[in-house]
Structure 1
Amino acid sequence: MAGDLVLITGGTGLIGIKIIQLALKAGYSVRAAVRSQAKADAVLATPTVKAINPGPKLTFVIVPDILADNAYDEAVKGVKYVIHTASPVIKGEGFTPDQYETELIAPALKGTTAILTAAYKTSGIKRIVITSSEVAIIPWEEFIAKEVDTVFDDTYKIPFPAGPYSHQFEAYSASKVRALKATEDFVKEKKPEWDIINIMPSFVVGDNEMVTDPKLVSDGTVSAAFAQILGGDSGWGAVPSTSVHVEDVARLHVEALNPKIEGNQNFLAVSEGARGTRWEEAIDIVNRNYPKAVKKGILPNNGVASTKRTKVDASRTEKAFRFKFQSYEAQVKSVVEQYLGLIGEEAA
């Protein structure tokens, strides 16, 4: 219920900062786990948090190393809910094969088990919401490498894919599979007093108030849509036809705290229904909505993107949460408008 204290991990990430903002707007008290005081200050400096002016309803706990033993033991004390979104993501130049296990898989697994173990040792927690991923339940080859007619939904399950991994994204996918399996095993073995909901986003696209340098706007999964607008190539190759607005992902996390949503479920977060996202359509979206910026060369809008068809059905999520995912056009526009704002240009 509104007013209850919720611990949010990973609050300085693309999804996490939106969760903090929406949780505060919904009336929750928030304790954000961050790696340093500088990260806490950055959260407080975001325009939305400043506008909310949360005062004592937003506090912070410093967790410098999520791989440390008992990392979250203090952080969970006194909270009613936990939203765990802290996990490694692929950014910039990414990781080399010798880093896959240490930088992607181990942190994802240890971070998840650490929050579960800490919650198990305390009392009063009612629900834990975890940021998983669609790749936790979709086989790597069928997701990224080959087109199949299978329509994946949130009941799909796959075994942990053992290495070696051919690509850092394959290792990232393995990290999500392994974390999900560890979560399911924990609940089955320990039978905790709380339940779990896994939110499984696709490629997350949207504005990020933690980013204040326009050069960093097109980072992570956002680049799949935005790199082409800046005249480049995301480096992802043909991207699966699944995307979701970051605001919708955050909304799912916060609304999943409502006990009316039955626990111990997985919910996919994928927009555009059966048709899916066509990444290259960002060029047309920008031409139609920001012609002045394109004409001036501020948005070159002549880069390259391609789409690999992947069928994912998230209709059960929309039905359970009673809202429709925002379109790819809305996703693109939110990033473009943030970028234009950061460089001091009008969104026209």
Structure 2
Amino acid sequence: MTGELVLITGGTGLIGIKTLHTALKAGYSVRAAVRSQEKANAVLATPTVKALNPGDKLTFVIVPNILAENAYDEAVKGVKYILHIASPVIKGEGFTPDQYETHLIEPAIKGTTSILNAAYKTPGIKRLVITSSEVAIVPWADFIANEVDTVFDDTYEIPFPVGPYSHPFEAYSASKVRALVATKDFIKEKKPEWDVINIMPSFVIGDNEMITDPKLISDGTVSAAFAQVLGGDSGWGAVPSTSIHVADIARLHVDALDPKIEGNQSFLAVSEGERGTRWEEAIEIVNRNFPEAVKKGVLPNNGTASTKRTKIDSSRTEKVFGFKFQSYEEQVKSVVKQYLTLVGEPIA
């Protein structure tokens, strides 16, 4: 199995770059779909890629517009597996209501159906692994607002969400539900020779080698944990109590290529069991593990965060894949270590 060619889309994002590194370490050859040569150069410049020195085991294909018709048709030729990680995300500036459909929902569905159609036209592919999300199967209101006693697991299904949407994150959630539905419908209708596994992360926290500017360390979901360490507020409000280490998500994507894992399944990825993450605990974690950086003021560690209880059980994923997810403490520590390295401070 190892040595075979894997196409990775979205390989320059938080999950993507860690998955690319993990696939190379596992012995796969990787073809990364990137938007430009500049992005390819940035991947090659990451410390892990430099250390691995993969040579021709890492190649690139330029896909400037993933929403174009037949965008991935050339990219999939000759590959055995596809890790489809590329998808719209909510950036710091957010989106206006009139952009929800065009900037979040349509691209998520189009990107997914595009890679499915490209694979369908290409012989020899064995499996697709798609990055979905916990919000694809957890109702929006229960995830972000209501505190219910329901323990959600990967057998849970929710109705097709219909707008208008009250918040960009609600629209993002709808995009994940609709992309998942589109995938299931495709499999049911086309009956391809390959199968699909959906990986459903929670808030992904961890180091990101594509970030070289310490001012950008708290980008995206990482801010839920790390903004408070830098003395600020994540801007998320009370965050659902669900997180996962980026390294665990990368491992799930790569391990899911193993034929021993039965296909056409979805797997949730949330650490800390039903108790989940308590976001404000990052302050104590940093005080205990990096006291000198706090004392010097490199890590102000005096910001605020709050947690909204959301019960999710992903124990089946840990059982099927045979490893336990890393704790919130390890998630926070990985980001702090990267930050200290970027600002030239010792890690102690």
Q: TM-score range by the shorter chain?
A: over 0.9
Structure-1 separation of matches of 2:94 and 2:54: 35
Structure-2 separation of matches of 1:58 and 1:323: 27
Which residue of 1 is the match for residue 14 of structure 2? 14
Fraction of identical pairs, as percent:
83
Structure-1 separation of matches of 2:215 and 2:100: 26
- Map Cα deviations across residues 285-341 of structure 1 (whole Å, 9 max, x no partner): 000011111111111111010000000000000000000000000000000010010
Which residue of 2 is the match for residue 124 of structure 1? 124
Structure-1 separation of matches of 2:340 and 2:36: 29
Aligned letter for 2:49?
V
Aligned letter for 1:321?
F
Structure-2 separation of matches of 1:141 and 1:189: 31
Which residue of 2 is the match for residue 70 of structure 1? 70
**Superposition deviation, residue 100 in structure 1:** 0.9
Which residue of 1 is the match for residue 59 of structure 2? 59
Which residue of 2 is the match for residue 273 of structure 1? 273
Aligned letter for 1:305?
A
For structure 1, the 5+ residue unaligned runs are none
Which residue of 1 is the match for residue 138 of structure 2? 138
Which residue of 2 is the match for residue 312 of structure 1? 312
Which residue of 1 is the match for residue 198 of structure 2? 198
Which residue of 1 is the match for residue 41 of structure 2? 41
**Superposition deviation, residue 93 in structure 1:** 1.7
Which residue of 1 is the match for residue 259 of structure 2? 259
- Map Cα deviations across residues 256-280 of structure 1 (whole Å, 9 max, x no partner): 0000000000000100012110000
**Superposition deviation, residue 192 in structure 1:** 0.2
- Paired positions, count: 348
> What is the SS of the residue equivalent to 1:238?
strand
- Map Cα deviations across residues 1-49 of structure 1 (whole Å, 9 max, x no partner): 1010000000000000011100000000000000000000000000001
**Superposition deviation, residue 151 in structure 1:** 0.3
- Map Cα deviations across residues 172-213 of structure 1 (whole Å, 9 max, x no partner): 000000000000000000000000000000000000000000
Which residue of 2 is the match for residue 175 of structure 1? 175
> What is the SS of the residue equivalent to 1:163?
coil
TM-score (norm 2): 0.99
Which residue of 1 is the match for residue 110 of structure 2? 110
1:238 equivalent in alignment to 2:275: no
Which residue of 2 is the match for residue 25 of structure 1? 25
> What is the SS of the residue equivalent to 2:249?
helix
Structure-1 separation of matches of 2:235 and 2:167: 12
- Map Cα deviations across residues 112-151 of structure 1 (whole Å, 9 max, x no partner): 0000000000100000000000000000000001100000
> What is the SS of the residue equivalent to 2:284?
helix
Structure-2 separation of matches of 1:341 and 1:312: 34
**Superposition deviation, residue 96 in structure 1:** 1.4
Structure-2 separation of matches of 1:296 and 1:96: 40
> What is the SS of the residue equivalent to 1:151?
coil
TM-score (norm 1): 0.99
- Map Cα deviations across residues 33-88 of structure 1 (whole Å, 9 max, x no partner): 00000000000000001100000000000000011000000000000000000001
Compare 153-162 and 257-266 and name the one that shifted more: 153-162
Aligned letter for 1:35?
R
- Map Cα deviations across residues 220-240 of structure 1 (whole Å, 9 max, x no partner): 000000000001010100000
Structure-2 separation of matches of 1:129 and 1:88: 17
Structure-1 separation of matches of 2:169 and 2:297: 33
Structure-1 separation of matches of 2:327 and 2:340: 20
> What is the SS of the residue equivalent to 1:177?
helix
Which residue of 2 is the match for residue 209 of structure 1? 209
> What is the SS of the residue equivalent to 2:266?
strand
Structure-1 separation of matches of 2:139 and 2:64: 33
Structure-1 separation of matches of 2:67 and 2:25: 31
Aligned letter for 1:299?
L
RMSD across aligned positions (CA): 0.5
Which residue of 1 is the match for residue 302 of structure 2? 302
Which residue of 1 is the match for residue 342 of structure 2? 342
Which residue of 1 is the match for residue 321 of structure 2? 321
> What is the SS of the residue equivalent to 2:261?
coil
1:2 equivalent in alignment to 2:16: no
